[in-house]
């Protein structure tokens, strides 16, 4: 498993070279007057930053972060607004539940891989109820019945078996991630495609990727740069990493 | 006031937990609360590092018929769509008001987009910035909606700002506010900020043990998070119970969160003005620059450091007759006490055990506002702002006597 991560790192590092002309050297050529609170005077050289996350590709990541903002502004969010304007709320709810039902299937598969009977039975119960009484997942009956909804993906499965996260990674369109979770998206996608190919009629199948994306963006409240803080990037990085760490342990 | 039913009597616990489930006002779940953008200084060119801060973000929820309008001003470091302003918007929208919500002048986006100088925390100058924003927003809306009256409220620093904005309105008369409500405002801004800054000293073992303290908090949250299948509304309450924090630790937590929000504000000001506070003057950072070290240094500085070593030196030339202490202590409601005393339209809602007031400072409100001050026996700092009696009080302040 470890070599897998390493190889992926190497691959991504290679890919990143093209996109990433690194930030100009921070060391100023000219000497600047010392600020009122100079870093070297206030922060001890050996100070550990507890919110730090391994992020060797920060320059590239910040560029993708920036790209994602612009994609949001010009494409993603306008499409979401159009969707909201055209499709009434109950119908959007149904679409959302429909895709969530597939996410429960993903959790089922990963619960098996993690050898977790509890999560497996919980997610299987949900899928059975929602796919039948819930009319192919359109109505979330399971939640109304108070059935817990565990959420497992392949990134967590890798983490469960001790695979480290690798470097932090901001994915185009998808946002905060890391090498392990990024790699984990692929098996989950393969599984989902396999099931959807099997279950859905062709005209519906052809549109699922699009509507899944719109639905996901609609239900993600995060907006790039809206905290206004210059430290947003590292705050988000720390929050994402901490949350994922806990999700793996959960 | 004896039968006041807000359930948390501890001032720190109230401040952190707010209003527990079951005690909140009954408000609509979904309101059409929309974010909006407005370009206050179109001619402004921001440094690349904070390029995204050109337009000011605010939020509004409007009635589809003529209605009274209320402006909300958020507290220190808070956005226009922060939890407290959002909840107030729900209450006032339900009561039939147009609501326009504005971030605190200390919110980084306000600093870069709406502050004339980029250095905030000055009572009159902040009021002018806020007033300009209000006028420009209203100019956009005028004709689209009809406002039967203009009103104003804000909590914490936003309450303090509201008092000065109300006073400015007496000269400018763009709105002629009908009613103004100050919720948990400081009296002297510097006193309150000093109190909050000093709370960090409560970290067990002192500030040097910040890391251990922080880790303990994260662990506490983690444990609750891992044990729960869903994060319910009482997550914070459960985390609090699980961690069993002492009063000093709660105070430290408040101090830390205050410090983090001021760090973002101060760094934005420093980058905008090239003052040379933590960033060397003249050094240009682009939007991809590594800011780790700057974050570390700003997290180690307090709001009081900002007042002494940035704010005062920055404005000193404009106020040659004032010493540093005079200048800083002038940022107080005491400076406009006469105006407040003689303005029947301004009322106050406060708590006896608010943590941002020095001992005895609460008396200022009884003295100056008399009958117009309502002091609840507890609630800490804004902890009871969503409690049903307080929400009813808030709304009644603006609906009473309205036609």
Distance (Å, whole) CA B242 – CA B256? 20
Contact B251, B213 (CB under 8 A): no
Q: What does the pLDDT look like over A65-116, one tens digit per residue? A: 999 999 999 999 999 999 999 999 899 999 899 888 888 988 988 888 898 8
Q: What are the backbone dihedrals phi and psi of residue B213, each rounded to the nearest 5 degrees, phi first? A: -60, -45
Q: Which of B273, B276, B278 is nearest to B297 (CA)?
A: B278
| Per-residue pLDDT band at A50 (split at 50, 70, 90) | confident
Cβ contacts of A24 on chain B, cutoff 8 Å: 286
In sequence order, the β-bridge partners of residue B348 are B182, B373
Strand extents, DSSP E, B39-117:
56-61, 67-73, 98-102
pLDDT at A172: 92
Distance (Å, whole) CA B47 – CA B59? 25
pLDDT at A17: 36
Tally C-beta pairs within 8 A across A and B.
121
Give the other-Cβ count within 10 Å of B26's Cβ: 8
Q: What does the pLDDT look like over B329-366, one tens digit per residue? A: 889 999 999 999 999 999 999 999 999 999 999 999 99
Q: What does the pLDDT look like over B162-171, one tens digit per residue? A: 999 999 999 9
| B 238-257 residues inside an 8 A Cβ radius of A | none
| Nearest chain A alpha carbon to B35 | A226
| CB contact (8 A) between residue B211 and residue A30 | no
Contact A245, B64 (CB under 8 A): no
Cβ contacts of A150 on chain B, cutoff 8 Å: 229
Distance (Å, whole) CA B236 – CA A59? 35
Question: Which residue did the predictor score with more confidence, A146 or B208?
Answer: A146
ipTM above 0.90, yes or no: no
Parallel/antiparallel/unpaired status of strands B34-38 and B67-73: unpaired
Question: Which residue did the predictor score with more confidence, B137 or B241?
Answer: B137
| Per-residue pLDDT band at B210 (split at 50, 70, 90) | confident
The answer for residues whose C-beta is within 8 angstroms of residue B146's C-beta and 6 or more apart is B65, B66, B67
| CB contact (8 A) between residue A37 and residue B301 | yes
Q: For chain B, what is the mean pLDDT?
A: 91
| Cβ–Cβ contact A144 with B under 8 A | no
What's the average model confidence in pLDDT over A147-173? 90
pLDDT at B235: 65
* Per-residue pLDDT at B158 exceeds 60: yes
Minimum distance, in Å, between the CA of residue A187 and any CA atom of chain B: 25
**H or E element, residue B181:** strand B179-183
| Nearest chain B alpha carbon to A49 | B296
* Per-residue pLDDT at A179 exceeds 90: yes
Minimum distance, in Å, between the CA of residue B192 and any CA atom of chain A: 23
| Cβ–Cβ contact B208 with A under 8 A | no
Residue from A55, A228, A243 whose CB has the most chain B CBs within 10 Å, to mutate: A228
Distance (Å, whole) CA B132 – CA B82? 21
The answer for residues whose C-beta is within 8 angstroms of residue B13's C-beta and 6 or more apart is B240, B250, B380, B383
Residue from B261, B274, B288 whose CB has the most chain A CBs within 10 Å, to mutate: B288
Cβ contacts of A119 on chain B, cutoff 8 Å: none
* Percent of the residues in chain A that have a pLDDT greater than 70, as a whole number: 88
Strand extents, DSSP E, B112-169:
147-155
Nearest to A48 among B211, B267, B297 (CB): B211
Contact B75, B88 (CB under 8 A): no
Distance (Å, whole) CA B118 – CA A167? 36
* Per-residue pLDDT at A3 exceeds 60: no
| Per-residue pLDDT band at A204 (split at 50, 70, 90) | confident
Lowest mean pLDDT among A37-41, B205-209, B339-343, B348-352: B205-209
Residue from B295, B312, B313, B316 whose CB has the most chain A CBs within 10 Å, to mutate: B295
Domain boundaries, given as residue ranges, for chain B: 11-192+328-399, 194-326
pLDDT at A9: 40
Distance (Å, whole) CA B168 – CA B172? 6
* Per-residue pLDDT at B50 exceeds 70: yes
Minimum distance, in Å, between the CA of residue A83 and any CA atom of chain B: 16
Lowest mean pLDDT among A35-39, A145-149, B77-81: A145-149
* Per-residue pLDDT at B178 exceeds 80: yes
pLDDT at A199: 80
pLDDT at A26: 52
Q: What's the Cα-to-Cα distance from A19 to each of A13, A63, A67, B38, B327, rounded to whole Å?
A: 10, 9, 12, 34, 51
What's the average model confidence in pLDDT over A229-249? 90
> What 3-state DSSP class applies to B152?
strand
- Counting Cα atoms < 13 Å in the Cβ hemisphere of A250 gives 23
pLDDT at B73: 97
Q: Which CATH code for domain B11-192+328-399?
A: 3.40.50.1820
Q: For chain A, what is the mean pLDDT?
A: 83
Nearest to B108 among A49, A69, A228 (CB): A228
| Nearest chain B alpha carbon to A249 | B226
| Per-residue pLDDT band at A6 (split at 50, 70, 90) | very low
* Per-residue pLDDT at A148 exceeds 90: no
* Per-residue pLDDT at A46 exceeds 90: no
Minimum distance, in Å, between the CA of residue B293 and any CA atom of chain A: 7
pLDDT at A181: 93
Minimum distance, in Å, between the CA of residue A184 and any CA atom of chain B: 21
| CB contact (8 A) between residue B290 and residue A47 | no
| CB contact (8 A) between residue A231 and residue B295 | yes
| Cβ–Cβ contact B182 with A under 8 A | no
| CB contact (8 A) between residue A42 and residue B300 | yes
**pTM (two decimals):** 0.89
What's the average model confidence in pLDDT over A109-138? 85
Distance (Å, whole) CA B48 – CA B56? 17
| Per-residue pLDDT band at A139 (split at 50, 70, 90) | confident
| Cβ–Cβ contact A47 with B under 8 A | yes
Alpha helices (H) in chain A, listed in sequence order? 2-19, 39-42, 58-71, 77-86, 89-113, 117-132, 141-144, 154-160, 179-199, 202-218, 232-249
Q: Which of B126, B119, B89 is nearest to B104 (CA)?
A: B126
Minimum distance, in Å, between the CA of residue A25 and any CA atom of chain B: 9
What's the average model confidence in pLDDT over A176-200? 88
Q: Which of B172, B156, B174, B96 is nearest to B399 (CA)?
A: B96
> What 3-state DSSP class applies to A199?
helix
Lowest mean pLDDT among A7-16, A31-40, A136-145, B241-250: A7-16
Range among A98-107, A209-218, B128-137, B298-307 with highest mean pLDDT value: B128-137
Question: Which residue did the predictor score with more confidence, B220 or A18?
Answer: B220
| Nearest chain A alpha carbon to B294 | A39
* Per-residue pLDDT at A21 exceeds 70: no
**H or E element, residue B389:** helix B388-399
Structure tokens that stand for A124 in this block: 């299987």
């Amino acid at each position: 498993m470890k070599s897998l991560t390493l190889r992926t790192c190497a691959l991504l590092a290679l890919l990143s070279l093209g996109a990433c002309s690194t930030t100009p050297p921070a060391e100023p050529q000219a000497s600047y007057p010392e600020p009122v609170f100079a870093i070297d005077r206030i922060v001890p050289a050996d100070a550990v930053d507890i919110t730090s996350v391994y992020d060797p590709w920060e320059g590239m990541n910040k560029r993708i972060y920036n790209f994602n903002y612009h994609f949001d502004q010009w494409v993603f969010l306008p499409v979401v607004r159009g969707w909201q304007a055209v499709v009434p709320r109950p119908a959007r709810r149904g679409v959302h539940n429909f895709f969530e039902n597939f996410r429960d299937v993903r959790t089922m598969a990963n619960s098996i891989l993690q050898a977790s009977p509890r999560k497996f039975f919980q997610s299987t119960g949900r899928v059975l109820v929602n796919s039948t009484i819930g009319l192919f997942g359109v109505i979330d009956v399971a939640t109304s019945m108070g059935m817990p909804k565990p959420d497992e993906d392949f990134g967590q499965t890798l983490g469960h078996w001790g695979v480290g996260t690798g470097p932090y990674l901001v994915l185009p369109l998808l946002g905060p991630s890391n090498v392990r979770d990024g790699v984990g998206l692929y098996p989950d996608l393969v599984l989902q495609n396999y099931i959807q190919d099997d279950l859905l009629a062709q005209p519906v199948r052809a549109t699922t990727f699009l509507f899944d994306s719109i639905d996901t963006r609609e239900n993600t409240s995060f907006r790039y740069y809206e905290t206004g803080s210059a430290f947003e990037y590292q705050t988000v990085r720390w929050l994402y990493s901490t949350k994922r760490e806990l999700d793996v342990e959960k | 006031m004896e039968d006041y039913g807000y359930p948390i009597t501890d001032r720190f616990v109230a401040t952190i937990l707010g209003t527990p489930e079951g005690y909140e006002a009954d408000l609509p779940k979904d309101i059409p609360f929309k974010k909006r953008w407005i370009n206050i200084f179109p001619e402004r060119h921001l440094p690349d590092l904070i390029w995204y801060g050109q337009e000011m973000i605010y939020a509004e929820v409007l009635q589809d018929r003529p209605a009274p309008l209320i402006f909300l001003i958020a507290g220190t470091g808070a956005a226009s769509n922060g939890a407290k302003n959002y909840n107030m918007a729900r209450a006032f929208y339900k009561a039939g008001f147009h609501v326009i919500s504005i971030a605190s002048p200390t919110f980084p986006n306000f600093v870069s987009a709406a502050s004339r100088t980029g250095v905030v925390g000055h009572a009159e100058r902040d009021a002018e910035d806020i007033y300009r924003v209000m006028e420009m927003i209203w100019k956009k809306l005028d004709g689209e909606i009809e406002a039967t009256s203009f009103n104003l409220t804000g909590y914490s620093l936003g309450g303090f700002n509201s008092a000065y904005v109300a006073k400015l309105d007496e000269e400018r008369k763009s709105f002629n506010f009908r009613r103004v409500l100050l919720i948990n405002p400081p009296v002297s801004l510097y006193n309150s900020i000093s109190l909050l800054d000093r709370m960090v000293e409560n970290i067990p073992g002192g500030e040097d043990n910040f890391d251990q303290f922080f880790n303990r908090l994260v662990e506490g949250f983690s444990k609750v998070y891992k044990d729960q299948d869903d994060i319910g509304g009482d997550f914070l309450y459960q985390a609090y119970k699980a961690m069993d924090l002492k009063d000093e630790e709660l105070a430290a937590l408040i101090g830390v969160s205050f410090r983090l929000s001021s760090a973002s504000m101060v760094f934005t000001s420093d980058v905008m003005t090239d003052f040379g506070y933590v960033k060397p003057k003249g050094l240009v950072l682009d939007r991809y620059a590594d800011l780790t070290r700057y974050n570390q240094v700003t997290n180690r500085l307090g709001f009081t450091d900002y007042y002494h070593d940035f704010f005062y030196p920055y404005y000193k030339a404009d106020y040659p007759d004032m010493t540093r202490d005079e200048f800083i202590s002038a940022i107080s409601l005491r400076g406009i006490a006469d105006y407040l005393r003689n303005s029947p339209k301004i009322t106050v809602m406060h708590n006896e055990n608010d943590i941002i007031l020095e001992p005895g400072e609460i008396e200022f409100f009884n003295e100056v506002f008399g009958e117009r001050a309502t002091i609840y026996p507890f609630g800490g700092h804004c902890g009871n702002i969503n409690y049903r009696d307080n929400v009813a009080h808030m709304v009644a302040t603006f609906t009473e006597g309205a036609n």
